Chain A
Amino acid sequence: MALIEQLDIAGYRLFDQLRVSGLTRVNLVVGRNNAGKTALLEAVEALVSEGSPFAFYRASLERGETRRGVLKQDSEAIAIDVRRWFRNHLLKPGAHIRIASGGSLPRVLECKVLEVSSDQGPPFVPGGFRLDTKREPRDRASELQLPVQPNGLLGAPPVTMFLDFGPTLPRPVSFVTTRRQTVTELLPLWSRVVLTPQETDVAVALRAIDPAIERVALSGLGDEAVGSVLLHGAVEPVPLGSLGEGTTRMLAIALSLATAKGGFLLVDEIDTGLHHTVMADMWRLVIETAKRLDVQVFATTHSLDCVNALGWLVETNVALGAEVSLHRIERGRDRTTPYTAAEIAAAARHHSELR
């Protein structure tokens, strides 16, 4: 698969202009709090998934930038505060977001804020805004217009518009957030992996956390879904939840990776719930699987253990190093600092804090 080698983000959240170059198959993004690590993942998601602002919409839901019962037509509907998508939370005509990738996978996504003109009827509101989205390459539906209320809120109805806007040839995209995922959330991923060659990969990944894990299975429906794990020598499986946060986190990463075949995996704070001793194994599994399944990975961390584990791994395994790079975001700077595998390894050797 073609990889994104360079990324330009303008106008999304805290980014005025940001260029990320030197991207490889597996990319670790580091930076201080509020440097924009999560926003960078969201921008990648928007560009490579639907090529629409739906990823921004999901991001707002995840970040809790919602308001309930403020839109007249449906008192219970959730509305998104679109102002958050823009720099300084300023929604005004002319404001615009542009995300573009370079290299062998060139894509562009542009969202522009316009005034609602007097001749436009519903769903556009007088005094409100029109959010125009264009994407390249152009395909069956490459333009989308979303109605935004004068107070900056975007209602639920546009979701169907997002879906219609979906690209002709979508690539799978998995986004693992920092939140602990429930079995119910993991079940749809599991159903796509079970009885495929990737099911074994998942069990192997879990063995990095606990070598006694032989098999894992998710079953049930909706809120009744349960995860079960068969441990070596045991007669009966134990509940997934009894094995600690690291097991569930690793399961979420492994399932998301397996279902992103030929596409993209985005992981926010990849170290969450993982003990520092399993970090190198986690990296080895992620890099090897990403290579085999042709997945491009973007992960964030602010754990020094996580960065160092990657450094030690690529120091001893040059072949894996060729797939890896690290990118440091600094607030207010218009480009990230890219580090090659050799530079990450050097930093780990000399306790240099790249994060």
Chain B
Amino acid sequence: MGRPARSSPHRLLVEGQDDLFAIAHLIRARFAAAQSAIDLDAPSPNAPWIEQHDGLENLLKAGNIESAAKTYLRLGIVVDADQVPAAHWRAVVGRLATVGVTVPASPATGGVIVPGYQEGWRVGVWLMPDNARPGALEDFLLPLMPGEDALWPEAVRATDAAVQVERRFGVNDDLKARLRCWLAWQAEPGANLGVAVSRGVLDPLSPAADPFARWVEALFA
């Protein structure tokens, strides 16, 4: 996968590896075709270097967001809403406030983009899946699945049956398990979310991803 240089003045902070690869492939599929200014394959100064933090807790550690806000002309931050959208939003907003970047108290449909640390700089925040509902990357990716997929109801049933035998994952992780169960039955069994997006198993061009792509374009292009 072609990627922008680490020295790019644009950066996107995400929680983990899954976010990194899923988002990278989505951006690649969306913007390469259009010869866009944020093509991840072409050496473009607009393409953000995507930086993953091994979890939200690490991402929110003092220094990470502040340092990035002071360094990059365009900074995007993507975090999961999980079950507490307001709390995660506040945590990110609080970090940005310490360096003088003001973000609205609540997320907005379509994501938020505000003036950054220096004049002409921008900071964007996106709360997965859609800046409104609780959830995570998987909730964002689920609508990218082809409609009326024959195996999806089976994956749901199989996962639920397994839980009946023994629940080994958290009560909020049902979708994560069902989606990976479904991925286990694709042509490339058990491909990770990034590969699924790159192969079109989860369609990066689905209209469901339009709002996120528009946010990416508005922030980095």
User: Which residues of chain A have a CB within 8 Å of any CB of chain B?
Assistant: 328, 333, 337, 339-340, 342-347, 349-354
- The stretch of B62-70, B143-151, B162-170 in contact with A is B62-70
Known: A333-B118, A342-B67. 10 other contacts (CB 8 A): A342-B63, A343-B63, A343-B66, A344-B67, A346-B61, A346-B63, A350-B67, A352-B11, A354-B67, A354-B71
Q: Is the CB of B67 within 8 A of A351?
A: no
One of A333, A350, A351, A354 near B64 (C-beta < 8 A): A350
One of B53, B63, B117 near A340 (C-beta < 8 A): B63
Closest B residue, CB atoms, query A352: B71
Closest Cβ of chain B to A97, distance in Å, is 26
Q: Which residues of A contact B139 (CB under 8 A)?
A: none
CA distance A340 to B68 in the complex (A): 12
Task: Pick 28 A–B contacts, CB within 8 A, sort by A.
Answer: A328-B70, A333-B118, A337-B70, A337-B117, A337-B118, A339-B67, A340-B63, A340-B66, A342-B62, A342-B63, A342-B67, A343-B67, A344-B63, A346-B63, A346-B64, A346-B66, A346-B67, A346-B68, A347-B67, A347-B71, A350-B51, A350-B64, A351-B6, A352-B11, A352-B67, A352-B71, A353-B6, A354-B71
Q: Which residues of A contact B61 (CB under 8 A)?
A: 346
Closest Cβ of chain A to B129, distance in Å, is 25
One of A328, A333, A345 near B63 (C-beta < 8 A): A345
Closest B residue, CB atoms, query A314: B63
Closest A residue, CB atoms, query B119: A333
Within 38-77 of B, Cβ neighbours of A (below 8 Å) are at 51, 53, 61-64, 66-68, 70-71
Closest Cβ of chain A to B45, distance in Å, is 14
| B172 interfacial contact with A, CB 8 Å | no
Interface of A is mostly: mixed
CA distance A333 to B70 in the complex (A): 14
Q: Which residues of A contact B64 (CB under 8 A)?
A: 346, 349-350
Q: Is the CB of A353 within 8 A of B7?
A: yes
CA distance A339 to B71 in the complex (A): 10
Closest A residue, CB atoms, query B52: A350
CA distance A345 to B64 in the complex (A): 8
Q: Which residues of B contact A340 (CB under 8 A)?
A: 63, 66
Closest B residue, CB atoms, query A340: B63
Closest B residue, CB atoms, query A342: B63
Top 5 nearest A-B pairs by Cβ distance? A342-B63, A346-B63, A343-B67, A346-B67, A346-B64
Closest Cβ of chain A to B36, distance in Å, is 25
Residue-wise, chain B 114-143 has the 8 Å CB interface mask toward A (1 for contact) of 000110000000000000000000000000
Q: Which residues of B contact A349 (CB under 8 A)?
A: 64
Q: Which residues of B contact A347 (CB under 8 A)?
A: 67, 71
Q: Which residues of A contact B67 (CB under 8 A)?
A: 339, 342-344, 346-347, 350, 352, 354
Q: Which residues of A contact B11 (CB under 8 A)?
A: 352
Closest Cβ of chain B to A334, distance in Å, is 11
CA distance A328 to B67 in the complex (A): 12
CA distance A5 to B165 in the complex (A): 64
Closest Cβ of chain A to B71, distance in Å, is 5
Closest A residue, CB atoms, query B70: A337
Q: Which residues of A contact B71 (CB under 8 A)?
A: 337, 347, 352-354
CA distance A352 to B70 in the complex (A): 11
Given known contacts A350-B51, A350-B64, A343 and B70 CB-to-CB distance under 8 angstroms: yes
Q: Which residues of A contact B66 (CB under 8 A)?
A: 340, 342-343, 346
Closest Cβ of chain B to A146, distance in Å, is 38
Closest A residue, CB atoms, query B71: A352
CA distance A349 to B71 in the complex (A): 14
CA distance A339 to B117 in the complex (A): 13
CA distance A340 to B53 in the complex (A): 20
CA distance A343 to B118 in the complex (A): 17
Closest B residue, CB atoms, query A350: B51
Closest B residue, CB atoms, query A349: B64
CA distance A349 to B7 in the complex (A): 14
Q: Which residues of B contact A345 (CB under 8 A)?
A: 63
Q: Which residues of B contact A354 (CB under 8 A)?
A: 67, 71
CA distance A333 to B119 in the complex (A): 10
CA distance A351 to B64 in the complex (A): 11
Closest Cβ of chain A to B59, distance in Å, is 10
Q: Which residues of B contact A351 (CB under 8 A)?
A: 6
Q: Which residues of A contact B117 (CB under 8 A)?
A: 337
Closest Cβ of chain B to A220, distance in Å, is 48
CA distance A261 to B193 in the complex (A): 58
CA distance A340 to B63 in the complex (A): 8
